[in-house]
Chain A
């Protein structure tokens, strides 16, 4: 069967797109790497209900009541009567646990190749159009001690809590940069963790420069204020223009050093202080996940925080005909923007437009750009590395080795550093160290090129083209 539209990613953008496209009469196949829909933002435990904010989106999925994943049979029995929602559901084939490793053109259609399920089975989906809503992952800037157990991504800590009801420790410092940190600290505190400090490298006064964009987005400001209020009552110190510049411990993190930063994020000597903790949740904003798109040759642009994102037109079309994109892949901007873009993309696939949605997108995008500019990492952060800091966690490549490749061996970008040091050549393929390595080479990161977007068993690669779903 050939789907009218294949949507990759079941976060807010992908869900909104799939629901809208189904409403418009398209047969949609929705592939998602996760076991349950909602993306990172609407993570929820198995067996638990879909979060309220995501229910409107998942209503149109062929998805069993109670939030259990994996029942993806289209036209399932038990639908009480043919409501609009159930009719739309019949048009959506939802494939959770499907990690698409490449999208390939095949004549007039697209083939999406996926590694499926716990047993890493092959799956192939054929579709007339493709919508990439692959989201983002966290940007990490290394510091001495960041490989210690107990140092976790800020978004990761939140994901583990939302999806797995698990905390990395009892006393958790939250650090890095970006609006996500407030949400993470609040979630951790609400779950019973102590958050002794929230350490933000940027300065919230930077928002003042973008007052107009902020003022047009009152809902976001209220959200921020609520986060702040909930934390203040729990004894969390808010330290702006500070960074965790070292984590200490042997088998796990026992304390962190927090240091004041100048406007370029350079640590100010003599300002360090130690904060005891048993975990650190750290992240410096989000990076769009682009490899499926760049593999197809989709054009990119640079967002105000220096990160590459997909270039799309008013209808969310990428530069490659037949390929649309929505959500964080087009520039990090949050769930509301992602949903809006997902809807616009689905309308656009069927040749429709919506002026109201376009206005909402413009307003939210301006806000996202303001946030990105305010939290753009300053170039001075590399001063907090010491030579022995492992920048590439997979291949254990130190800052000194990378600097030697740049200063002594002629590496001028992340790719040539990789070739000369193996930084970025390991399991994660540079997803974690990429932005840091690019900065050490003196540049903003280039768009990622990863022809395989996840590991694929050779036995699966070796199979002749087989049955499609």
Chain B
């Protein structure tokens, strides 16, 4: 192709696709390049969670709230195959102490604009008829939603009308004499552009390194269990126990688990996910599966006799402070980042795309991107975090 696009986006996961979509909507031409297929990395291993419920007030919640609005718009535009469903999240507390903590947490969220409703113990059954008895209570988060992540990425990419190059691995970032980005190198030739967007998710550190900068994205492994197909309505919301929130926020390398249980339009129930920092280890952890199964059957005893037909894992792109890196990299002119969303990439993709599009156009972003600056780890040394 002779025409030089305004930007090359590296990564055809949901974040890269959303960047392409919003850039294209802003009038920019983009080329998307990926070493594999659409959604072949962490997007394809995701559950499609669009959650506000698990985020405390702060920059990530602001991103999530913006995304919530954008996903709602996208659901009107994109085909129904993306399976967008505003099913709501139900966070349950096993005992009084957990309920008190959850109440405090929800109060902070409500102040930041999250819709929350406390559900007394005796009303939980109205929302989830198969929920275990004996829970102390819970909170309903009507804004929590779900999409089919791979399909959402593919449809965003298609709607972006981008030039998509799949099966091409980026092996270098091209810079000019002054150090500014001018494209990427692939085995099939150079792709020239004045801007390069790093949307490579868990592999974001490697691409940053190709551009000569440090971005400490690490993998945090998660397992998901998938049941046999079940009748619709067996599990109606995204249901999880309150300790999930502590796990998400934790930086511990140890195995953590608190099952989020949810039904899908296909009938299977998804149970996920664990969190563990073990590098890119692909071997099955029976302990991870044991905990997921134990927690899911504790929440929904009806699942005990149900069989898991599949287990899979993904590697969340984890940054030390649990926030993604979004926007221009001040260290290399023309380099932009959109990675490090940990387990929230599907949910945060549209807001990320919108912010990146604004940055590419040099416009003011719709929210404060200060805490998301890609160079914020420059002072961090070694493996302390």
Contact = CB atoms under 8 A, between A and B. Distances in A.
Given A295-B283, A295-B284, A464-B290, A459 B304 contact: yes
A411 B228 contact: no
15 contacts: A104-B283, A410-B154, A410-B166, A412-B166, A416-B37, A419-B39, A420-B38, A425-B266, A425-B268, A450-B310, A451-B284, A455-B308, A457-B307, A459-B305, A464-B290
A266 interface: no
Contact of A462 (B36, B228, B294): B294
B327 interface: no
Contacts of A452: 308-311
Contacts of B290: 461-464
A175 to B, nearest CB: 30
Contacts of A104: 283-284, 286
Interface string B17-56: 0000000000000000000111110001000000000000
Contact of A415 (B37, B268, B297, B313): B37
A177 to B, nearest CB: 29
Contacts of A134: none
B293 A429 contact: no
B326 interface: no
B150 interface: yes
Given A296-B283, A412-B37, A458 B154 contact: no
A413 B38 CA distance: 10
Given A297-B282, A452-B308, A419 B266 contact: no
B242 interface: no
Interface in A374-426: 395, 405, 408-413, 415-416, 419-420, 422, 425-426
A102 interface: yes
A113 interface: yes
A295 B311 CA distance: 11
A451 B312 contact: yes
A429 B310 contact: yes
Interface string A113-126: 10000001000000
Contact of A411 (B38, B289, B307): B38
B372 interface: no
Contact of B309 (A296, A405, A415, A427): A427
Which of A104, A409, A425, A464 has most B Cβ within 10 Å?
A409
A370 to B, nearest CB: 33
A415 B44 contact: yes
A419 B309 contact: no
A456 interface: yes
The 5 lowest CB-CB distance pairs between A and B, nearest first, are A410-B38, A416-B37, A419-B150, A461-B293, A455-B307
Given A451-B284, A461-B225, A416 B150 contact: yes
Interface in A295-313: 295-297
A422 B296 CA distance: 24
Contacts of A427: 228, 309
A181 B303 CA distance: 43
B338 to A, nearest CB: 19
A460 B291 CA distance: 11
B157 interface: yes
Interface string A169-183: 000000000000000
Contacts, number: 120
B163 to A, nearest CB: 12
Interface string B210-237: 0000000000000001011100000000
B36 A458 contact: no
B114 interface: no
B306 A416 contact: no
A458 B303 contact: yes
A292 to B, nearest CB: 10
Contacts of B312: 451
Interface in B153-183: 154-155, 157-158, 164, 166-167
B325 interface: no
B63 interface: no
B266 A422 contact: yes
B12 interface: yes
Given A412-B167, A451-B311, A459 B37 contact: no
Nearest to B291: A462
B151 interface: yes
Contact of A420 (B151, B228, B229): B151
Contacts of A419: 39-40, 44, 150-151
Contacts of A120: 307
B150 A455 contact: no
Contacts of B158: 408-409
Contacts of B304: 457-459, 462
Contacts of B36: 412-413, 416
B265 to A, nearest CB: 10
A455 B228 CA distance: 8
Contacts of B227: 458
Interface string B333-372: 0000000000000000000000000000000000000000
Interface in A432-469: 450-452, 455-459, 461-464
A111 B225 CA distance: 20
Contacts of A297: 282-283
Contacts of B311: 451-452
A375 B277 CA distance: 46
Contacts of B154: 405, 409-411, 420
Interface string B246-284: 000000000000000000001010000000000000111
Contact of B284 (A102, A405, A457): A102
Given A419-B44, A455-B308, A457-B306, 18 more contacts: A102-B286, A104-B286, A120-B307, A295-B284, A297-B282, A416-B39, A416-B150, A419-B40, A419-B151, A425-B266, A425-B310, A426-B309, A427-B228, A458-B227, A458-B306, A458-B308, A459-B304, A462-B290
B284 A461 contact: no
A419 B149 CA distance: 9
Which of A120, A297, A422, A458 has most B Cβ within 10 Å?
A458
Contacts of A113: 286
A441 to B, nearest CB: 9
